[in-house]
Amino acid sequence: MRILFANLAQFLRFSVNSIGIVLLGWIHIAHSGSLFLFQFWKRKILLDQIFFILLFLQLVFSALPWFSYEIQFFDSPETVNIGPKWNFLFILVSLLNFFFLGFWKSSWVRIWFFATQLTLAIILIWGYLEPTRYYFDFINEKEVNFKITFYLFSVVSAFSFLFGFLTFQREDSLYD
């Protein structure tokens, strides 16, 4: 038992002594990451910056709940927020578009971007017309409300497509 307490005391002493070096490491990582992002941001033209922000917003709105409905628990109404059942697709495509188009330029990235954005647009429109097929299936369609995040995701996705097209046009004019 004495060895157990000695080991515990030694572990706690080591842990407390390590806090300073761990904090310095995180400060260094945050500082160098901030400098990288600042330099990265300065190199981009305004059109690229807007496109980058739109892709980031698309990623954020894809992860938020899009629908809400109300249920009764013991005569007390409760609002439940849910995402679409295809949420993994929206988040994955938004994440990959943000990564590929925000930090990496290649010829196949354009094809990827337009193909995935058009696929998302088709699923969004079709899901809006038939929500029980693509968004939710265990709730009565009339009881579900579309939240503002659904509409924001749709608008941001459309603007991402537009600004992606304009950004690629600008790049082509610079290199021709």
Nearest-angstrom CA–CA distance, 161 and 65 = 22
Q: What is the DSSP letter of 135?
A: T
The number of beta carbons lying within 10 Å of the beta carbon of residue 64 is 15
Task: For residue 144, give the nearest of 66, 92, 57, 87 by alpha carbon.
Answer: 66
Evaluate if residue 83 carries a pLDDT over 90: no
**Confidence band of 28 (pLDDT split at 50, 70, 90):** very high
What is this structure's pTM? 0.74
Identify the pLDDT of residue 26: 92
Average pLDDT of the segment spanning 72-76: 78
**pLDDT class of 54 with cuts at 50, 70, 90:** very high
